[in-house]
Amino acid sequence: MYGPGQPLDITRYFIIASDTVGSGKSSKPSDGLRMRFPKFIIEDIVRAQHTLLTEGLGINHLLAVMGVSFGGRQTWQWSVQYPEFMSGVVPIVSSPFPNAGRRGMTDFLGIEPIIQDPAWKNGDYDQQPRGLQLALMFYWMFLDGAGHLWEEAPTREQSFQYLPEVAKGWGRNLDANDWIYLMRVNDGFDAYSQLDKVKARVLVINMAGDEQVPVELGHMDKALKKLGDKAEYLLVNEFSDYGHFAAGKTVNIYGPKLGEFLKRLATAEERG
């Protein structure tokens, strides 16, 4: 994806990537405030990124904003919150619709095992509660695809062993309170109802087998209708057995489309 001649060509583009509020080296509950950390939503995350760009780096325009999964939702939010700040947006494996229905239930299952665990102690635990591991197991089942899970665990014994191992590895550097905040950051997200604000060109890239952004709901059809000729849509059918994770397996498939989209944006800017 990165490097000379790749879609995100670092010899041509100045690429900025920030840790989102609530994770990595950005401010987060585990820094000390725990569940007393101020509540934040995607709108706040995007506002912080905008402040970083304008006040921290002195940048007042971007060629494009791009993100995958949760980063894709941030990308949708950018398109309606700061519609004239960039020439294009590329949300990947994400939807502008609220995290409701089964997607909202996924977030519920990502929180409930933690807060129901007595060891959580309303966020003032001494060690990571067991509920975090259970939450990660639930969540993983909605990320991975049924076909890939069958390949990984084709026997009864393996199917009982697989998720605990996944959760152990995934949760090694996660904090339960940070995780809860990241689940709740989706509260109030609804870029779909604001798509009339979009000014940028839009390239949507989704995966056919992704149950996080299920094709059968028809949400993207509705979004594309609202966006009109500003939008392009690529649905990747390959590696559908990997569900949400197919995005990491198919860069060689959607990469050329992404690269061509960015080049068109750059050419248009150069021409003024």
Domain extent listing, the chain: 59-97+190-271, 101-184
- Cα separation, 253 vs 125, in Å, equals 45
Of 165, 190, 183, 38, give the one whose Cα is nearest residue 107: 183
Percent of the chain whose pLDDT exceeds 90: 96
Contacts of 232 (CB under 8 A, 6+ apart): 201, 202, 203, 204, 261
8-state DSSP, 19: P
Tens-place pLDDT, residues 221-265: 999 999 999 999 999 999 999 999 999 999 999 999 999 999 999
Q: Distance from first CA to last CA of the chain, Å, rounded?
A: 27
CATH superfamily, region 59-97+190-271: Alpha/Beta hydrolase fold, catalytic domain (3.40.50.1820)
* Percent of the chain that is helix, strand, coil (3-state, to 5): 55, 10, 35
Q: Which CATH class is domain 101-184?
A: mainly alpha
101-184: same fold as 59-97+190-271?
no
Question: Contact, 243 vs 145, CB < 8 A?
Answer: yes
Tens-place pLDDT, residues 18-72: 999 999 999 999 999 999 999 999 999 999 999 999 999 999 999 999 999 999 9
